[in-house]
Amino acid sequence: MAVIAKVIVDVPTMQTDQPYDYLVPEALVQAVQPGMRVVVNFGKGSREVVGMVVDLADAADFAGELKSIKAVIDLAPVMNQELLALSKWLAASTFAFWITCINTMLPAMLKANMEKIIVPIVHNEAVDAMFGDQSGLLFDQITDLAVMGQLMQWQQAGWVTTEYRLKKNQKVKKETLIKPLLNRPAYQAALATVKKNAVKQRELLEALMQWQDDADSPKLTSINKRFSRPQLNAAQEKGWLAFEQREIYRDPYPEMANQALTQPLTLTDSQAKVVASVSAAIHAASPTPFLLEGVTGSGKTEVYLQLMAEALRAGKTALMLVPEIALTPQMVNRVRGRFGAAVAVLHSGLSDGEKYDEWRRIERKEASIVVGARSAVFAPLENIGLLIMDEEHETSYKQEDNPRYHARDVLLHRARTHQAPVVLGSATPSLESRARAQKGVYTLLSLPERINQQPLPDVHIIDMRQAVESIQGDFSKELLDALQMRLERHEQSVLLLNRRGYSSFVMCRECGFVKTCPNCDISLTLHMDSHTLKCHYCGHEEPIPNVCPNCGSKKIRYYGTGTQKIEEQLAQYLPQARVLRMDVDTTKKKGAHARMLKQFGEQKADILLGTQMIAKGLDFPNVTLVGVINADTALGLPDFRASERTFQLLTQVSGRAGRADKPGHVIVQTYNPDHYAIQFARMHDYEGFYRQEMQLRHQGDYPPYYYTVKVTVSHEDANQAAKAAFSLGKQLQGALGSAIMLGPTPGAIARLKNRYYYQIVLKYKHEDRLLEMLHLMRDETQKSARQGFTIAFDREPQSFI
C-alpha cells in the first residue's frame, strides 16, 4: 500500500498552510516520519524545495498523479509531535504561515549553510561495508534512495548518527581519548618484551594497565605532557591503544563548570506558602496558571529554584523563561549554580554552535531544566512538569517579526499540553495578567514583603521645574549630594537614564532645523563615540554638521541626554567616583555585560550608570542609592501603555536599592511629579496603580478590556500604500460586528527605509468573523507582495507607533 506524506513546503512566495501530498518512495517507507524535513519538486518547472513532513496517510487527497519525495534532509525527526502541533497552533493564533512558525522553532544551525555528515557509532559488518575506511558520509553525496533508507533505519537503531558542520568549518566539537585495547595480562606480557632502559615505554604500559581499570579513558590533552605524540603513535601501531574521538559540547559558561552547587535556603512563611500551592499543582499534573505578585527583593528566584527542584523530584522537566538573557546573567548563574549541568541555557547571546549544542542536550534528555529568553519557549523538552516566566510584564517576550507571538501565550499553551502548572512572576505584573487573576483565570499568589522584613526603599521625588537654580547639568543638588554621601560611606549607587521615547539629536538654535534620516522620517541620533549621526531604523550614518545645513548658522547644538554625556558630567562633579557605563554601546561585545556586572559586584566601581538594561533583576547588597535622572520621557509617547511602562520601570529600578541589611534610598527626577504613575511608584503601591489604570483603560476601551490587532500596510509609493490600506479597511468594515476599527492612519513614523506605512487598529471582544477575515487577508498577502506591498498582522501589539 502506498504511503503518502503531507508536506508543508518552504516557498516564500507561494505559502499556504495546506500540506501537499507526496508519495513516499519504497526505500524510505520504513523511515519517513512526521517532523522530518524532505526535498520535493514543487510547482511549475518542478524546482526542488525543502518541506516539512507534518503527517503520513494511506491515501492522497490530491486526485492527480503524485510526485515522490526526492530525498530526506533529516534521518530522525527534528520536531516531535508536540512541537509540530504547537507550530500549527502558533500559525493560527498569530496570522503567520505554518512554515514560518516551523522555521522559527528550529535552531538556526539546522537551517544555516551546513553540510550534514552521517557518522557510524557502531561497527559491524554491514556498517563497515557501507563506510569502508571513511569516518563519515557526506549527506549531499548520497543519491541512492535505497542507501538513504538503509541509513535512516540504522539511525533509528542507533548505529549511525547525523552531524551538522557549518560549511565554514564550524563542526561538532571533538576531543580525543586514549583507549586501552588490551587487558592486564596482555599488558604484563608486553611489558616483559620491553627493554629495561625503555623507561617511557614501560611507564606508558603501566599507565595503560591503570586506565583499562578506570571507567573513563583519559583525554589526550590531559596526558600529552607525560607522553609525546610519537610515543603514543608507536603504541597505537603496536596495538596497545587506540585514539578515540568523542563529541563534546561547547560550554557557554565554562567558568561555572566545577563550582559546588548551592543549597536550597530555608523558606520564609510566605515563600513556603507559594511553594506549597504550586508544588501541589505539579504533583497533581494540573495546568493551573499562577500569577506570582512579589515585591522586589521578596525572594521570587528562590521560589522558582525550589519549584524546579520539585518538578525534577516528580520525575519531570522544567522550563523557565527570563527576559533577554544578556540582561540577566545573574539569573542564569543562580539556576546553574543550583542545578549545574542539568541546566541548558538558550539565548541570543550564544553562537549558533553553542545554541545547537544546548538544543541537542535537551533533545537527548541530558538537560532537564531549560532557562532561556523568548525563543526558548520552543525548547524540545519532553514531560514538562513546570513552566515559569520571570518578569512576565517584560515587552521583550513579544516577538516583533513574523510570527508575532507572545511567549506567555505559547507557555500557557504548552502547559495545557503537558498538564503542568505555570508561574508568571513579577513585582509589577502586566495589566492583562493582573486582570486575569482578578477574574480567576489565573490563581493569584503573593509575596508582599522583602526577605528579612527589610523595608522597601524610601523614594524621594525631585520636581525639576522647581529645582532650576540648583541644577547642575542633568543633576539636582539632592541627587549629587546623595551620590557624594555614598562615596564617603563606600556604598554603591545605580543611576538610570530612561531612554524610552528619548533620543539625542542635533538642532539648530536659529531656525529649529533638526537633521533627519534621508530614508526614514525620524531624527538622527547623536553618537559621540564615533562622532556621527545615526538612524536607528535603517543604519544610515553621517558626520555631525558644524554649521546648520538649512540656514548656515553655527549655533547648531546637541540636544538630549545620552549616557556618555551623563558620564562626562559625573567626571566633572564627582571626579573621585569610579563609574561603569552600561548601554548598547558598551555591551556590544560578547560577555561584556556579564563582565561589567561582575566588576560592579566586586565593588570595583561606585556608580553603575545605564539605560533600561540595569533596571531589573540585579541583586547587589551594597547598593543603597538608586537615582533616576529622567523619570518621565516615556510619558509623552502616544501609547496607552506609557503610564504602565513608567510605573514598572520606576518600581523595578527602585527595587535595586537596599536589598540586604543597609536601607535603600531612591531619588527620582521628574517634570511631572504629580503624575499618578510616579506617585504610585513612590508609594510602592502596585495594587493602587492597577486600580486607577484599569479605570482609565475602561474609559478608553483599551486592553485588557479589549483585545487588539494592528494591521500595517506599506509600499514604496505613498499613494499605493494609502489606497491599499483603505481597501483593507473597507473589507474589514464588513466583518466588524461589535468591534471597533481605528484608521487607516499613516504610521507614527510614516516613512521608514523608504517605505510608506499605514495602519489599522482593531479592538474587539469576541469576533470570530473578524478573525476569519484576517486569516483570509493573510492568505492574500503573497499576491500583494508581488506588487510590492507588505502587510503585517500583529495581535496584541506592544507598540502602536
Ligand X SMILES: Nc1ncnc2c1ncn2[C@@H]1O[C@H](COP(=O)(O)OP(=O)(O)OP(=O)(O)O)[C@@H](O)[C@H]1O
Asked if 498 is part of the footprint of ligand X (rule: CB under 6 A), the reply reads no
Minimum CB distance to ligand X smaller for 391 or for 409: 391
Whether the Cβ atoms of residue 668 and residue 683 lie closer than 8 Å to each other: no
Query: In the set 94, 162, 217, 298, which binds ligand X (CB under 6 A)?
Result: 298
Q: Residue 430 binds what, of ligand X, Zn ion, none (CB under 5 to 8 Å, by partner type)?
A: none
Query: In the set 10, 302, 363, 394, which binds ligand X (CB under 6 A)?
Result: 302
Whether the Cβ atoms of residue 377 and residue 389 lie closer than 8 Å to each other: no
Q: How far is the CB of 746 from Zn ion (least distance, A)?
A: 17
In what side-by-side order are the strands of the sheet with 47-57? 20-23, 4-9, 47-57, 37-42, 71-72
Minimum CB distance to ligand X smaller for 372 or for 425: 425
Q: How far is the CB of 348 from ligand X (least distance, A)?
A: 21
Query: In the set 15, 94, 103, 271, which binds ligand X (CB under 6 A)?
Result: 271
- Say what angle helices 718-733 and 768-786 make with each other, to 10 degrees: 150
Query: In the set 107, 149, 289, 294, which binds ligand X (CB under 6 A)?
Result: 294
Asked if 267 is part of the footprint of ligand X (rule: CB under 6 A), the reply reads yes
Q: How far is the CB of 274 from ligand X (least distance, A)?
A: 11
Positions touching Zn ion (CB under 5 A) are 508, 510-511, 513, 517, 519-520, 535, 537-538, 540, 548, 550-551, 553
Q: Residue 297 binds what, of ligand X, Zn ion, none (CB under 5 to 8 Å, by partner type)?
A: ligand X
Asked if 451 is part of the footprint of ligand X (rule: CB under 6 A), the reply reads yes
Q: Residue 517 is placed in which grid cell?
A: 534620516
Minimum CB distance to ligand X smaller for 660 or for 741: 660
Quick one: which segment of 291-299, 438-446, 470-478, 626-634 binds ligand X (CB under 6 A)? 291-299
Residues 6+ apart with CB under 8 A from 67: 22, 23, 40, 41, 46
Query: In the set 300, 360, 436, 710, which binds ligand X (CB under 6 A)?
Result: 300
Residue with the three cell numbers 538556526: 108
Please compute, for residue 155, the number of CA atoms within 13 A of its CA located in the half-sphere on the CB side.
Answer: 21
Q: Residue 513 binds what, of ligand X, Zn ion, none (CB under 5 to 8 Å, by partner type)?
A: Zn ion
Q: How far is the CB of 303 from ligand X (least distance, A)?
A: 8
Please compute, for residue 473, the number of CA atoms within 13 A of its CA located in the half-sphere on the CB side.
Answer: 18
Asked if 617 is part of the footprint of ligand X (rule: CB under 6 A), the reply reads yes
Q: How far is the CB of 299 from ligand X (least distance, A)?
A: 3
Q: Residue 510 binds what, of ligand X, Zn ion, none (CB under 5 to 8 Å, by partner type)?
A: Zn ion
Whether the Cβ atoms of residue 421 and residue 278 lie closer than 8 Å to each other: yes
Whether the Cβ atoms of residue 713 and residue 728 lie closer than 8 Å to each other: yes
Residue with the three cell numbers 566633572: 572
Q: Residue 655 binds what, of ligand X, Zn ion, none (CB under 5 to 8 Å, by partner type)?
A: ligand X
Cα dihedral 402/407/413/418 (nearest 10): 120
511 is known to lie in a ligand binding site: yes
CA distances from 506 to 500, 556, 652 (A): 18, 7, 31
Q: How far is the CB of 645 from Zn ion (least distance, A)?
A: 24
Q: Residue 511 binds what, of ligand X, Zn ion, none (CB under 5 to 8 Å, by partner type)?
A: Zn ion
Q: Residue 242 is placed in which grid cell?
A: 587506540
Q: Residue 722 binds what, of Zn ion, ligand X, none (CB under 5 to 8 Å, by partner type)?
A: none
Q: How far is the CB of 789 from ligand X (least distance, A)?
A: 44
Cα dihedral 650/654/656/661 (nearest 10): -170
Q: What is the DSSP string of 575-622?
A: TT--EEEESTTTT-STTHHHHHHHHHHTT--SEEEESGGGSSS---TT
Residue ranges in 226-265 that form contacts with ligand X under rule CB under 6 A: 265
Q: Name the amino acid, one letter, at 26.
A: E
Q: Residue 606 binds what, of ligand X, Zn ion, none (CB under 5 to 8 Å, by partner type)?
A: none
Asked if 368 is part of the footprint of ligand X (rule: CB under 6 A), the reply reads no
Residues 6+ apart with CB under 8 A from 454: 297, 658, 659, 660, 661, 663
Backbone angles phi, psi at 401, to 5 degrees: -110, 170
Query: In the set 104, 217, 301, 633, which binds ligand X (CB under 6 A)?
Result: 301
Strands 422-426 and 384-389, bridge-based pairing = parallel
Number of residues that bind ligand X (CB under 6 A): 19
Whether the Cβ atoms of residue 715 and residue 788 lie closer than 8 Å to each other: yes
Strands 556-559 and 505-508, bridge-based pairing = antiparallel
Q: How far is the CB of 665 from ligand X (least distance, A)?
A: 16
Angle at alpha carbon of residue 501, lines to 740 and 791, rounded to 5°: 45
Q: How far is the CB of 521 from Zn ion (least distance, A)?
A: 9
Minimum CB distance to ligand X smaller for 302 or for 354: 302
CA distances from 279 to 291, 306, 419, 427, 736 (A): 14, 9, 13, 21, 44
Q: Residue 268 binds what, of Zn ion, ligand X, none (CB under 5 to 8 Å, by partner type)?
A: ligand X
Q: Residue 619 binds what, of ligand X, Zn ion, none (CB under 5 to 8 Å, by partner type)?
A: ligand X
Q: How far is the CB of 681 from ligand X (least distance, A)?
A: 14
Q: Residue 667 is placed in which grid cell?
A: 531619588
Q: Residue 302 binds what, of Zn ion, ligand X, none (CB under 5 to 8 Å, by partner type)?
A: ligand X
Query: In the set 282, 427, 479, 522, which binds ligand X (CB under 6 A)?
Result: 427
Asked if 337 is part of the footprint of ligand X (rule: CB under 6 A), the reply reads no
Minimum CB distance to Zn ion smaller for 140 or for 541: 541
Q: Residue 451 binds what, of ligand X, Zn ion, none (CB under 5 to 8 Å, by partner type)?
A: ligand X
Angle at alpha carbon of residue 608, lines to 607 and 609, rounded to 5°: 105
Asked if 299 is part of the footprint of ligand X (rule: CB under 6 A), the reply reads yes
Query: In the set 289, 297, 744, 797, which binds ligand X (CB under 6 A)?
Result: 297
Whether the Cβ atoms of residue 604 and residue 459 lie closer than 8 Å to each other: no
Quick one: which segment of 221-229, 281-289, 293-301, 704-712 binds ligand X (CB under 6 A)? 293-301
Q: How far is the CB of 87 from Zn ion (least distance, A)?
A: 34
Q: How far is the CB of 682 from ligand X (least distance, A)?
A: 17
Asked if 622 is part of the footprint of ligand X (rule: CB under 6 A), the reply reads no
Whether the Cβ atoms of residue 105 and residue 359 lie closer than 8 Å to each other: no
Q: Residue 687 is placed in which grid cell?
A: 495594587
Q: How far is the CB of 559 from Zn ion (least distance, A)?
A: 13
Asked if 323 is part of the footprint of ligand X (rule: CB under 6 A), the reply reads no
Q: Residue 296 binds what, of Zn ion, ligand X, none (CB under 5 to 8 Å, by partner type)?
A: ligand X
Q: Residue 538 binds what, of ligand X, Zn ion, none (CB under 5 to 8 Å, by partner type)?
A: Zn ion
Query: In the set 82, 619, 685, 779, which binds ligand X (CB under 6 A)?
Result: 619
| Helical (H) or strand (E) element with 689 | helix 686-699
Q: How far is the CB of 608 from ligand X (least distance, A)?
A: 15
101 is known to lie in a ligand binding site: no
User: Cα separation of 558 and 569, whole Å?
Assistant: 15
Quick one: which segment of 13-21, 179-187, 299-307, 566-574 binds ligand X (CB under 6 A)? 299-307
Burial (CB count <10 Å: 0-12, 13-18, 19+), residue 775: middle
Strands 579-582 and 740-752, bridge-based pairing = unpaired
Q: Residue 260 is placed in which grid cell?
A: 559546588
Q: What is the DSSP string of 103-146?
A: HHHS-HHHHSSEEEEEEESS--HHHHHHHTT-S-EEGGG---HH
Show binding-site residues: 508, 511, 517, 520, 535, 538, 548, 551
Please state the residue numbers annotated as binding site for Zn(2+): 508, 511, 517, 520, 535, 538, 548, 551
Residue ranges that bind ligand X, judged by CB under 6 A? 265-268, 271, 294, 296-302, 427, 451, 617, 619, 655, 659
